[in-house]
Structure 1
Amino acid sequence: MPSPTFEQLLRELHASLILRKRPEDVARLIQDLYAAQGTDLDTATEARLAKAAEHSLRNLWHGYTSMREEFARPVGAQRQLARAANLFLSVPDLPDNAGDDPAQIEVVIRRAGEEIGRSYGQNDFGMDRLNRTERTAACLGEISKRQYNKRFRLLRRMEAKLARLIHEQRRREVAITGKGALAHVLPYELFATDPDTAAFIAYVTARGYMRSVFTNGRQRQVYDDVAAALFQRLRNRPERACWYAVAHVHPTAEVLAHVSDQDLTQLLVRWNGFLRRAAGLLEDVWNRHPLERDTMIVRRGDDSSTWNQAAQAWNTARAHWFALLTELGQDEILDRICPGKVPRLMAADVAYWHRMSGGGLHPDTYVWADLPLPWEVLRGEKECPRSLVEAACARHQVDPIAGAWTAPRPAAEAVAFRRTPELVHGVAVADPLMASVLRSAGVFSGKGKRVAAQEWT
């Protein structure tokens, strides 16, 4: 089998920006990329890439991971569209990807509704259906009441499915952005401008996409010594690096200093919009079931999954927004509008673990509880100037600058590379095959155990 070409490897690296590959596997791709290019790597970069790639799936005897290598996709409306094509003359057979496109689904619902005299949004089974006289007047006399009801119910279910699909697609985008910033929207042409830039972005994104570990300590830091070595290559040849692309994922002052004001403004506008979307999702969760704000411990009825994804996305977007404002010299905006960070919900057993090990609530939780809710700040319903945040931080003995409450995040120091653990609901398991069995049986899921899948019995 012929070796992949340089461009094929670049495209595979670019594709990894929307996948969830292990950093070790991305490191191996980067090794292959440099080998295909004929690049002589410096000793530090070569050694650190080799250390990471040593544990890639291609180098392991089993070549297997139990963890999904992409972000879960919402279930589309393919089944409903196929049923609509059978029941409605105006609905043609559509390709499978139409079931993942909300715009096409809505067109089908509206077009099919015209066949039975139903307007979009008329979902009340008791009030919005046509009676016999109305069906006759609408030239639907040849359709029996049973057949009419069947079509009405299908369209009502399709509207509900469309709403769920849009919500889940928003959640997926929020989850990806919260972990990998704007890497997933980078066009290939921009990503492939410079191989060193592509290598750094792909590796840092893979690190960001790592799953959270069940622990009472800090999660793994994204910026490790492999990322630092790859970033040093950008420093060594700053004129070749595509700093604008790097700014999508790594908005340090050093990176942003190389980016033009026009490009910085484009990023700022993009993050402005995303902040509002993340705030909207947070508000949706809050309105459905207000949280225990003083402790941020999960209670029955809390949608902790959506909240935590949206909170991480908000904090990521906020960090980029602060960094861009500062680089553009517009940080005086924070004197008037300085929305706070949003903590994630904590499981009660983790909170208990913290207390038993001598810890307690993170000080940021107390600051968050003293500030207006972020969506209220963005809408201008409540004021949250920098002075208010500083006062809340002072009350709870939190450094507002080091804690990134009133300033961009401080540049992170590189940590040592550690192998990606095989996780089952956040719990590390040594063997990926055993991890598959445990996940299939529902172990560590917080739900009742079940018989493992047939292939593991």
Structure 2
Amino acid sequence: MNAQYHFRFVEDLKNKKMITLKELHRTLQQRKRPEDVAEMILELLGERLSFEEKRILEKAAKGSLKNTFLGYTSMMQEFATAVGAEKQVKKTIEIFKLTPNESIDYNNIDAIKEFIAAVSPIIFKEVGANNFLSDRLNKLQRKEKGLDLSKRNYNKKWRLLKRLEKKLTKLHREIKKIEFQKIGKHGLSHKIEFSEFQKDYNSACFIAYYNTRCNLRSVFTNTSQERAFDEISEMLLNRCKANSANWWAIAHIYSGQKVITKLSDEQKGKLLGKWTGTLQEIAEFLAEIWNKNDFNRETMVVQRGNDSTTWNNTAGAWNKARDNWMNIIYALGMEYILDEICFGKVLRLMAGDVVAWHYSSGGQLDPNTEVWNKIPLPWEVFQGKEKCTKKLVEWHCKRANINPTKSGWIAPRVQRVAKFKPTPELVHGVTISNPYLATVLKKHKYFSGKKYRLVQW
């Protein structure tokens, strides 16, 4: 009986740990607070932690929602999601009197494309031909093709397909925006499959915790933002170094030199290919945003009408991808590539009040802005229109009185360890002491830069 009881106890413990591990993996797609993930890690690693490791981890875990009196946060725990084409697809099925197909994934670009490609021939519409004057069939053309539809009915179906194509374009753009926002925060960690994630507990814990730190929101300040790599991240990474580790998975979120050197040449090559492709995609999107907006390149101070959110998220994605690309280049001993092609950073847009705050407190415009102004834009380099070399970047950094190596313009950034600080409740970057008060202020649009409004409860 004792042996049977022990066996059941061990199995229950394994099942519990597997559930926790799956919850940890789900956080890679979410924006959980570091405190809550630290609590999960305590449950998962348990007695494997030394006294000192547990003490460090409990700095965060004690502030988890489980361990606080309120057990509530005003901060969103998920990334934004794109609204799919369910409404448009279902209306198309209704108007065209098609057999309902529940297997259609309304959020899948390829599935929607296939649906449009299958439905458009019914009224002899060419996909992408959406000019109302020149791309519709007239009465004679409809008759020749055996299309027994009134002009009104034909136009209704034609317009419906046009709107569906427009929705597809919008959905594709929104998915891309969200993808780049995630990359800008935590690299490629959201692409790690559970089968890879579960291979090593220590690696999984580091990835999950560091992911939450990377996802922290920006604080409204005239100083630097909180560094993602803190003392808890360092402790968890040290556990990976001291024990077994899945360095391939870790490299998707943390590409420090000590991690990259643990990879095989084949893995380094794959990762370099991933980041190079990602850089190209981001560069194309940056060009699109740049051409649609009238940004002040000299100051990078946001102006009315600028799509600052999309630009800043995409700029963050570029800089994150560029840092990872640079790390791998150096790890492979291929820094000579920079003599031919050295992509520059992309600066974010700054709010006017933050810039004014800088000046009033004795600061000045970020000297990196001067370098950004002088070197070719990243998409121009990718398109082959301009050339940007290491020598050029060094020269402009010198003129701006910036160390090109320490500032990350021509070499990997130096990783510094930050002290753990409790995650603040933020309302548009402003720290609020109480989560319920923060919720109220958000509803009334305080600190949003817009006129506040009263909301009926």
Match of 2:31 in 1: 20
**SS of aligned partner of 2:105:** helix
**SS of aligned partner of 1:423:** strand
Aligned counterparts of 2:15 and 2:67: Cα–Cα separation in 1:
17
1:14-413 → structure 2 map (5 Å cutoff): 14-35=25-46, 39-90=47-98, 92-95=100-103, 98-141=105-148, 143-237=149-243, 240-410=244-414, 412-413=415-416
Aligned counterparts of 2:258 and 2:393: Cα–Cα separation in 1:
26
**SS of aligned partner of 2:405:** coil
In 2, are the aligned partners of 1:82 and 1:93 still within 8 Å (CA)? Answer: no
Aligned counterparts of 2:275 and 2:23: Cα–Cα separation in 1:
27
Aligned counterparts of 2:43 and 2:384: Cα–Cα separation in 1:
51
Aligned counterparts of 1:40 and 1:313: Cα–Cα separation in 2:
36
Residue-by-residue CA offset, 1:295-324 (whole Å, 9 max, x unaligned): 110112221111101111111111111110
1:3 deviates by 10
Match of 1:414 in 2: 417
Aligned counterparts of 2:276 and 2:401: Cα–Cα separation in 1:
30
Aligned counterparts of 2:409 and 2:359: Cα–Cα separation in 1:
25
Aligned counterparts of 2:289 and 2:168: Cα–Cα separation in 1:
19
Q: How many residues align?
A: 446
Aligned counterparts of 2:342 and 2:261: Cα–Cα separation in 1:
23
**SS of aligned partner of 2:329:** helix
Aligned counterparts of 2:75 and 2:260: Cα–Cα separation in 1:
34
Q: Letter of the aligned partner of 2:41 in structure 1?
A: I
1:130 deviates by 1.7
Aligned counterparts of 1:160 and 1:217: Cα–Cα separation in 2:
42
In 2, are the aligned partners of 1:191 and 1:198 still within 8 Å (CA)? Answer: yes
Residue-by-residue CA offset, 1:177-211 (whole Å, 9 max, x unaligned): 11101101112122111111111111001100111
**SS of aligned partner of 1:100:** coil
1:397 deviates by 0.6
Match of 1:432 in 2: 435
* Larger deviation, residues 108-117 vs 412-421: 108-117
**C-alpha RMSD of the superposition:** 1.6
1:91 deviates by 5.7
1:2 deviates by 9.7
Aligned counterparts of 2:451 and 2:117: Cα–Cα separation in 1:
42
Aligned counterparts of 2:432 and 2:144: Cα–Cα separation in 1:
66
Aligned counterparts of 2:343 and 2:193: Cα–Cα separation in 1:
30
Aligned counterparts of 1:256 and 1:441: Cα–Cα separation in 2:
47
1:93 deviates by 3.0
1:71 deviates by 0.6
**Partner of residue 452 from structure 2, selected from 434, 449, 452:** 449
* Larger deviation, residues 314-323 vs 145-154: 145-154
**SS of aligned partner of 1:119:** coil
**SS of aligned partner of 1:340:** coil
Aligned counterparts of 2:98 and 2:280: Cα–Cα separation in 1:
38
In 2, are the aligned partners of 1:90 and 1:112 still within 8 Å (CA)? Answer: no
* Larger deviation, residues 441-450 vs 314-323: 441-450
Aligned counterparts of 1:180 and 1:277: Cα–Cα separation in 2:
17
Aligned counterparts of 1:90 and 1:128: Cα–Cα separation in 2:
24
Q: Letter of the aligned partner of 2:182 in structure 1?
A: I
Aligned counterparts of 1:336 and 1:409: Cα–Cα separation in 2:
20
Residue-by-residue CA offset, 1:367-426 (whole Å, 9 max, x unaligned): 11110001111222111110000000010110000001111111x221111111111121
* Larger deviation, residues 425-434 vs 165-174: 425-434
1:219 deviates by 0.7
Aligned counterparts of 2:96 and 2:369: Cα–Cα separation in 1:
54
Aligned counterparts of 2:40 and 2:427: Cα–Cα separation in 1:
26
Residue-by-residue CA offset, 1:106-129 (whole Å, 9 max, x unaligned): 222222211112110121122222
Residue-by-residue CA offset, 1:209-260 (whole Å, 9 max, x unaligned): 11111111111100111111111212222xx111121111111111112111
Q: Letter of the aligned partner of 1:216 in structure 2?
A: N
Aligned counterparts of 2:335 and 2:304: Cα–Cα separation in 1:
40
Aligned counterparts of 2:259 and 2:116: Cα–Cα separation in 1:
47
Aligned counterparts of 2:408 and 2:445: Cα–Cα separation in 1:
38
In 2, are the aligned partners of 1:425 and 1:445 still within 8 Å (CA)? Answer: yes
Q: Letter of the aligned partner of 1:222 in structure 2?
A: A
Aligned counterparts of 2:130 and 2:322: Cα–Cα separation in 1:
39
TM-score (ref. length: structure 1): 0.95
In 2, are the aligned partners of 1:17 and 1:205 still within 8 Å (CA)? Answer: yes
**SS of aligned partner of 2:426:** strand
* Larger deviation, residues 102-111 vs 357-366: 102-111
* Larger deviation, residues 436-445 vs 197-206: 436-445
TM-score (ref. length: structure 2): 0.95
Aligned counterparts of 2:318 and 2:52: Cα–Cα separation in 1:
35
**SS of aligned partner of 1:98:** coil
1:90 deviates by 4.3
Aligned counterparts of 1:103 and 1:415: Cα–Cα separation in 2:
43
* Larger deviation, residues 250-259 vs 73-82: 250-259
**SS of aligned partner of 2:431:** strand
Aligned counterparts of 1:168 and 1:198: Cα–Cα separation in 2:
29
Aligned counterparts of 1:436 and 1:2: Cα–Cα separation in 2:
38
* CA shift in 2, pair 1:2/1:251, >3 Å: closer
Aligned counterparts of 1:257 and 1:217: Cα–Cα separation in 2:
33
Identity rate of aligned residues, in percent?
41
Structure 2 unaligned blocks of 5 or more: 1-11
Q: Letter of the aligned partner of 1:439 in structure 2?
A: K
Aligned counterparts of 1:371 and 1:203: Cα–Cα separation in 2:
36
